[in-house]
Chain A
């Protein structure tokens, strides 16, 4: 497992930068903090706001105290951020991604026992290249009525994501990595991506490597998701597939996500929206943020705490007595949280 760079040698708490976010962000962050406290996890939270400010030279950037905290702690936990329409500054998620070079988006999708969907036994991980590909943002109007969007694939980024995928597979005891591509149509770009994956696979003979067309993956995924293990792919396919897999296990409200950056930075986040219609009403479901926090604990090597909290969360959901509205119940967020806290303490 990846060693945590914020490990204090004297055994004191690990620092984590907490970004509560907007809408239901603050209340679900509070819920997570409560549960961590009940589990007595050795985490010290540093709350920061990342709303963009204009720095010297007119460029938008995240506030310096937020950047300083992340650079120091290396680990972040983030709630949902509001996407500004006419605020003038770019998407905050994009800004974070660029600031910390968050090149890998990792989403483990595991069926939640107790939250029934038509798909059981899903247990896969999507690893998506997060910096280039179709989301390079380079578009031109060639002539009136003809638009060109550029998809960029580079050797370096492809190698980097492939290496991360195989490292992840090895560190988390996953048996195979599948590269998802459309190299029959996009011969050069996806061909380059595929070549890099094949090259990296040579160094990881203990992990099985396969390649599959995007359409075949989609076709098979909805018929039998159990055949997939770790999937690695460029940006757009990753966006679509990771949401498809989230849909298999129950949606964005229960799916964790992690973003891995250069220099050991990792930011874990919930990927649902800010839900402004229920913000402040104690109705939100903190599961997604909680499971992302569990992913964070595992990343830091604190598996025992991670497992304890995850078990408590899943037990509460399986029990069905205090579910929030989106999970099919009508309890409050605080009741749901309190139940998990109680179970965590009982598990000690």
Chain B
């Protein structure tokens, strides 16, 4: 989903790219190791610069190092960094800090039904574009009177126009027919009203694409009964959180869908639902699909399309034809079995690979 006119060409030295890798917590480290394993095996010309972020520290030194590394390399692949509840409220979510500092304003997620995965609904094909920097995630809170807390939700014209523009451009590029704005402007008349107005303004510049809007509670109701009616959806931050998780659940769960965060200058790839997965960490049962597909999205961004397709096809073959599934989608395979299968399929296609 890289829009070439926005992002500068990725940095390359000696024909190899350097990408920042942030392992994060929970299942992040093990899944990213598998990604590295598959990339090394497929001789992908990418070197990873690993930056650790310790979520137990209160200082922001670690996350600032990570941000600097991403500024340097332009591209990153990350696991989710835990936000510990025991910390005081002044310690903000590290993931959020990363997104806002790098101005990664568009979170893009493509939810597609996979033929090999059993779900209640079929034929889902929804692209979700979520504003990623403002809205309810502004982290501006204060307690004026003891026992009364105010949290500010900020909506700006600039960011709303920007995200709407991104959504429509992407829709046109991908040949999609319809963009739906999700909002709650009947209650938040000024805030979501502004967002909706910006979407309408941008829509008028794209007469080939149908634009409509839907209130968020009705949207969730429609999603669980008839998700096939949606095409492209654009929305502010919090509704994006809800809708993207609902859609991920509809197509098979958090282990399947990759996500991307795009800004004007940087791109960061991760799993779409941003789970830490502490309870399944280090047990070799996590589903590597989402993280591997995120890696493929990153390869497409770096214009290494052949590598991306080869790995992606291997993943889909494993999922849909071999039906090698991990526990979260009803199977009994382990993480390593899935990864081994992916690598075997890549090798069988006759491309250059490293030692097994």
Contact = CB atoms under 8 A, between A and B. Distances in A.
B191 A186 contact: no
A119 interface: yes
Nearest to A118: B120
A221 interface: yes
Nearest to B189: A139
B113 interface: no
A218 B154 contact: no
Contacts of A221: 246, 249
A160 B158 CA distance: 39
A317 interface: no
Contact of B147 (A154, A223, A244, A252): A154
Given A134-B188, A148-B191, A185-B137, 13 more contacts: A118-B120, A134-B136, A139-B191, A145-B157, A147-B155, A149-B190, A153-B148, A182-B241, A185-B93, A192-B149, A215-B241, A219-B245, A244-B223
A247 interface: yes
Contacts of A140: 190
A117 B139 CA distance: 39
Given A135-B187, A154-B148, A240-B220, A184 B83 contact: yes
A155 B152 CA distance: 18
Contacts of A242: 217
A156 interface: yes
Nearest to B221: A247
A219 B246 contact: yes
B253 interface: yes
A310 B142 CA distance: 47
B178 interface: no
Interface of B: 83, 85, 89-93, 96, 120-121, 136-137, 139, 141-143, 146-158, 184, 187-191, 194, 216-218, 220-225, 238-239, 241-242, 244-246, 248-250, 253-254, 273-275
A188 B89 contact: yes
A189 interface: yes
A188 B150 CA distance: 8
A155 B147 contact: yes
A222 B191 contact: no
A137 B184 CA distance: 12
A184 B194 CA distance: 27
Contact of B191 (A147, A155, A216, A241): A147
A183 interface: yes
Contacts of A145: 156-158, 194
A183 B147 contact: no
A186 B90 CA distance: 11
A119 B190 contact: no
B50 to A, nearest CB: 24
20 contacts: A134-B136, A140-B190, A145-B157, A146-B155, A147-B155, A148-B191, A150-B153, A151-B136, A151-B150, A185-B93, A185-B137, A189-B141, A194-B85, A214-B241, A215-B245, A215-B274, A222-B246, A239-B217, A247-B220, A247-B223
Contacts of B274: 215
Nearest to B224: A247
Contact of A153 (B120, B137, B151): B151
Given A155-B148, A219-B253, A248 B224 contact: yes
Contacts of A148: 152-154, 191
Given A147-B190, A215-B245, A188 B151 contact: yes
Given A145-B158, A154-B149, A244-B246, A216 B224 contact: no
B65 to A, nearest CB: 21
Interface string A128-148: 000000110101110011111
A142 to B, nearest CB: 8
Contacts of A152: 148-151
A244 B152 contact: no
A251 interface: yes
B217 A243 contact: yes
Nearest to B154: A148
A236 B134 CA distance: 17
A252 B217 CA distance: 11
Nearest to A117: B225
A188 B139 CA distance: 9
B211 to A, nearest CB: 21
B221 A246 contact: yes
Interface string A210-245: 000011101111110000000000001001111110
Contacts of A187: 89-93, 139, 141
A148 B90 CA distance: 21
Nearest to A187: B89
B241 A186 contact: no
A134 B217 CA distance: 14
B257 to A, nearest CB: 10
A264 interface: no
A219 B254 contact: yes
A149 B242 contact: no
Max chain A CB contacts within 10 Å: which of B153, B184, B187, B224? B224
A119 B121 CA distance: 10
A220 B273 CA distance: 12
Contacts of B141: 186-189
Contacts of B91: 187
Given A139-B188, A185-B139, A215 B242 contact: yes
B147 A214 contact: no
Contact of B121 (A118, A147, A191, A248): A118
Contacts of B120: 118-119
Contacts of A218: 220, 242, 245-246, 249
Contact of A146 (B85, B146, B154): B154
A98 B293 CA distance: 50
A247 B218 CA distance: 9
Nearest to A146: B156
B83 A151 contact: no
Contacts of A153: 148-149, 151
Contacts of B121: 118
A188 B221 contact: no
B153 A240 contact: no
Contacts of B89: 187-188, 191
B136 A251 contact: no
A242 B217 CA distance: 8
